[in-house]
Structure 1
Amino acid sequence: MRPIFVVAMLALFCVSPRTAAAQDCETSENQMELNLCAAEALEEADTRLNTAYRAIESRLTGEDDLKQRLRATQRAWITFRDAECRFLNANAEGGTIFPMLESQCLADITSERADKLEDYLVCDEIDMSCPVPDAQ
């Protein structure tokens, strides 16, 4: 009986966030499903962020100073995002709800940053507050 228990426990630990795709996140009822759905939302936000970041970086060809500033800004933003979510979820740390809350927080802040980076890709040519040159 013990080997069956070990196999069952391994199966639980090997569930990836991609398994959440099989979940109906609108009707999830248990904490494990909710955690997986929140992890999936974070993965989607992170994909959007990385896509926008790479598009900006590709537009900064020959703009080494701007590229360095972009990298420094992104590193600082990641530090802020992670610290903000650790602060906001401190009371839940160690609980079963913590992974969901942490993923939701990270996803929300990451999505906001992705929105900002995406805005940089479509700002007006005469907008001096836009650091990204037009692609044309």
Structure 2
Amino acid sequence: MRKLLYLCFVFTVNASFAQTQADMNKEAYAAYEKADKELNEVYRDILLAYKSDTAFIYNLRASQRIWIAFRDAELNMKYPARDAGFYGSMHPLCRASYLAELTRERTATLRKWLQVAAEGDACSGSVSLKN
């Protein structure tokens, strides 16, 4: 009887953590959306912080457009168009995870413009010396 109760407990616990592929895909896409939202917030904060520097804003916008094209090209390089089913059922999860990774990297890069450059850093470029 104890063994039966134990097995029921184990199966119940395992079943409560089970996810379908659709659930995992949805979670991965939600993580990408969260990363994208954070990127957009950082981008808007930079636009606000540097609004008087028109040359910088012009180049930031150009850089972001190019980065989006780069991100899409990276995704297509990693997962070139293939016959349906080539990458398997995890393909949507993998694509969303890679998009999230690339987006988090871009966000980290852009955050530098929201930090104060070190005093005397001759290579800080357009990064503000004040915040």
* Amino acid in the other structure paired with 2:60: L
C-alpha spacing 1:61/1:41, structure 2 compared with 1 (3 Å):
same
Structure 1 spans left out of the alignment, 5+ residues = 1-26
Q: CA deviation at 1:110?
A: 0.1
Q: How many residues align?
A: 110
What's 2:91 paired with?
A: 98
Which whole-Å CA distance do the structure 2 matches of 1:77 and 1:34 have between them?
27
Range with bigger deviation, 81-90 or 70-79: 81-90
C-alpha spacing 1:30/1:74, structure 2 compared with 1 (3 Å):
same
Structure 2 spans left out of the alignment, 5+ residues = 1-16
* Amino acid in the other structure paired with 1:82: D
C-alpha spacing 1:98/1:77, structure 2 compared with 1 (3 Å):
same
TM-score of the two chains, using structure 2 as the length reference: 0.73
Kindly indicate whether the alpha-carbon contact (under 8 Å) linking 2:116 and 2:130 is maintained by their aligned counterparts in 1. no
Q: CA deviation at 1:123?
A: 3.6
Residue 55 (structure 2) pairs with residue 55 (structure 1): no
Q: CA deviation at 1:98?
A: 2.0
Which whole-Å CA distance do the structure 2 matches of 1:113 and 1:48 have between them?
10
C-alpha spacing 1:92/1:64, structure 2 compared with 1 (3 Å):
same
Residue 128 (structure 2) pairs with residue 133 (structure 1): yes
Task: Provide, for residues 41-100 of structure 1, a one-character-per-residue CA deviation record: whole Å limited to 9, x for no partner.
Answer: 101100110111111111112211110100000010110011101111227773332211
